[in-house]
Amino acid sequence: MNFIRQYYFDFGVMSDNLSDLMAGFWITIKLSIFGGVLSLIWGLALAVIRQLPGRATAPLRWLSIGYIDAFRGIPLLIVLLLVSGGLSSLSSPIGGDVIPDFIGKPTWLGETSPFWYGVISLTITYGAYMAEVYRAGIEAVPNGQMEAARSIGMSHGQAMRFVIVPQAVRKVIPPLLNDFIALMKDTSLVSILGLADVVYVGRQIQSDIFNGSGLVAGAILFLIVTIPLARLVDYLIAREQRRTKRSGESNDSDQLEETQPAGGLPPNSGDLS
């Protein structure tokens, strides 16, 4: 027990390295924000492409389905290695300088190349997951909504933009938040590229002084963010269930009122006099 306390919960080690851990966690937060926002946008684009109607757009639908299936099945770690290795090689003489350095070795907004490799990999992978969430929301919108929009002269694109997608997004906010929580945890994989996030800093502390308290401190920082997000998801799900229940009760009451005849007698009841 004493070993566990000293190795994992040495608060002196945590306080001595707190500034480095917080700097690393700030990188984790930025990775989560950039990767999360871009994944939401990319996932919505994939979901909309998958819903395109007509034979002419079938190749686009097949590409979207293939992409989603592929990147939901490939581990993020492999995507990270492929993206970082591929982009850096294509912008070097070894790869024939196919792409310019500002793309192959990005340092946009003052961030390092490993940071952007991580953002790109998170977007590629989690865009596929979020596309399936969006698709579930789009298919949950009644078909009559699309038919009504088309009947008043909207094109398919306009109906999706102004009628279907806004309703779908409201339905899938809780599962999208769940995916964001998973994305935030998976940012820890970017540390293999040498990015000094909170996991990288914790590992450095562990290797320098043979103590895991830095990693435990990193885990605590993750929990400080993810637990409130998880409770927010629970709240949103419970609110949606209450709203659905109220709507169902209202519809049941309307149906009873429609079947109840004037005077309160059952339908088709004869005159007992």
Look up the domain containing 232 and give its range. 2-250
Q: Which CATH number is 166's domain given? A: 1.10.3720.10
In a domain, 170, yes or no: yes
pLDDT digits (tens, 9 = 90+) for 154-196: 999 999 999 999 999 999 999 999 999 999 999 999 999 999 9
The answer to the question of residue 267 being in a domain is no
260 lies in a domain?
A: no
How far is the C-alpha of 174 from the C-alpha of 236, rounded, in Å?
Answer: 6
Overall average pLDDT of the 18-25 stretch: 96
Rounded to 10 deg, the angle between the 198-209 and 213-259 helix axes is 150
CB-facing half-sphere around the CA of 171: CA atoms within 13 A: 16
> Position 39: which residue type?
S
212, 7 Cβ separation under 8 angstroms: yes
Per the domain annotation, does 266 fall within a domain?
A: no
Summarize the confidence of residues 224-243 as an average pLDDT.
91
25 domain-assigned: yes
Count of the separate structural domains present in the chain: 1
Domain assignment present for residue 256? The answer is no
Residue range 29-63, pLDDT digits in tens: 999 999 999 999 999 999 999 999 989 999 999 99
In a domain, 117, yes or no: yes
Residue 24 lies in a domain: yes
What's the whole-model pTM score? 0.87
- The rounded percent of the chain whose pLDDT value lies above 90 is 78
Q: Which helix (H) or strand (E) holds 119?
A: helix 113-140
* Cα–Cα nearest to 129, from 47, 234, 233: 47
